[in-house]
Amino acid sequence: MIVEINYLPQWIPEQMTPGTVFVLDKAGESGDEADPFWAVLACPSCATLGLITRKQMAGLIPVICGSELCSAQFHIHGDEIIPRRVC
């Protein structure tokens, strides 16, 4: 199922529903220099929060949910989250 990204203008944890993205205030200032952390994403299937990098935000590499109970994999494509087919 394709989910449309809901961008939060400010950090309100209660509003981090599945498929919500909050771009970090200091996007690009931490993590790997070549691919720094960029935003927080609530997993579109379980709402677990995870940091995503600039390349993940740009759709260059897939996002894998950090929850042990959920192995969702997806791509961010523009304003949409597209599930990745897993064999």
Question: Looking only at residues 34 through 53 of this chain, which bind Zn ion when binding is defined by CB under 5 A?
Answer: 43, 45-46, 48
Does the protein bind Zn ion through residue 67 (CB under 5 A)? yes
* One of 16, 39, 52, 72 touching Zn ion (CB under 5 A): 72
For position 81 contacting Zn ion by CB under 5 A, the verdict is no
The strand ranges marked E within the chain are 3-4, 6-7, 20-23, 37-42, 49-53, 63-64, 73-77, 80-83
Residues that bind Zn ion (CB under 5 A): 43, 45-46, 48, 65, 67, 70, 72
